[in-house]
Amino acid sequence: MTYENLLVEVENKIAVVTLNRPQALNALNKGILDDLSSFFDDVKSNDDIRVIILTGAGEKSFAAGADIKEFASFNAEEGKQLAAKGQERVFNKIENCTKPVIAAVNGFALGGGLELAMSAHFRIASTNAKLGLPEVTLGLIPGYGGTQRLPKLIGKGRAMQAIMTADMFTAERAEQIGLVNEVVEQANLLARAKEIAGKITKNSSIAIGQAITAINSYDKPNGFDIEIASFGYLFEEDDFKEGTTAFVEKRKPNFK
């Protein structure tokens, strides 16, 4: 798996995907977004990968937003297309990926960068991370899902204030309000992300995929129906037989 703007390293069923434009603080230009879209298509059928960790190259930034220089001269229709295509081809695809996606936020996660981290299934951050949606300072609003995902994660009032003021959250504050799950020293960030990913790889990947789909529906009117359907579906799967047999036989399950 090689991409012009991403570094992809796979080990022990865990893919570390690094946004690789450090000279522009990993700003999300068309090239990075195209590569992310391709990666999340490719990963579906790649049995060597069960968990994905997203991070940014360098020690300063996860991603400093959509590439401002690329869209500065856009008109309304082009702006609309930028948001619509980005959401469909990257951000929604990540959120709906049935393999777990962890964002390891290693510095600035601003605008589209925070929106990328929020489309991951959960986030951990390094102590130097700064997270925010500063689009109103550019005369814009968040366009890659930020007005929808931020209130779900931190509540409507906090999201309103964050978007209106364009203030950045420190890593410590982001943890307090549930925007990130954990904060660790930058030197330990990837190791901790891999440790969490390693735990996940020991569990049933088919059950985890169904859990992602069900949890993603928690705020939809049919969320309970989706949970019930997924629960029932899993009873026909080999992992269910292996998991329950292993419990009865007092051994660890060996999921395929």
Residue recorded with tokens 């603080």: 25
Catalytic residue among 88, 115, 182, 195: 115
Report how many residues bind ligand CAA under the rule CB under 6 A: 22
From residue 91, how far is each of 94, 137, 245 by CA, in Å?
5, 23, 38
Interface with ligand CAA by CB under 6 A: which range of 132-140, 178-186, 217-225, 242-250?
132-140
Beta strands in the chain (DSSP E): 6-11, 14-19, 51-56, 61-63, 101-105, 108-110, 122-126, 130-132, 169-170, 182-184
Residue 135 found at the interface with ligand CAA (CB under 6 A): yes
Amino acid (one-letter) located at 144: Y
Catalytic (active site) residue 185: no
| Gap between the Cα atoms of 193 and 180, Å rounded | 12
C-beta closer to ligand CAA: residue 119 or 204: 119
Length of the chain: 256
Catalytic (active site) residue 77: no
- Return the residues of window 144-203 that contact ligand CAA according to CB under 6 A: 144, 146
Residue 51 found at the interface with ligand CAA (CB under 6 A): no
Residue 111 found at the interface with ligand CAA (CB under 6 A): yes
Q: Kindly state the smallest distance separating residue 138's Cβ from ligand CAA, in Å.
A: 6
Q: Site for ligand CAA (CB under 6 A): which residue of 1, 10, 138, 177?
A: 138
SS3 state of residue 53: strand
| Gap between the Cα atoms of 61 and 19, Å rounded | 10
Strand order in the sheet with 61-63: 61-63, 108-110, 130-132, 169-170
Residue 91 found at the interface with ligand CAA (CB under 6 A): no
Interface with ligand CAA by CB under 6 A: which range of 32-40, 62-70, 201-209, 227-235?
62-70
Interface with ligand CAA by CB under 6 A: which range of 103-111, 182-190, 212-220, 246-254?
103-111
Residues at the site binding ligand CAA, with contacts judged by CB under 6 A: 24-25, 27, 64-69, 108, 110-112, 115, 134-135, 138, 140, 142-144, 146
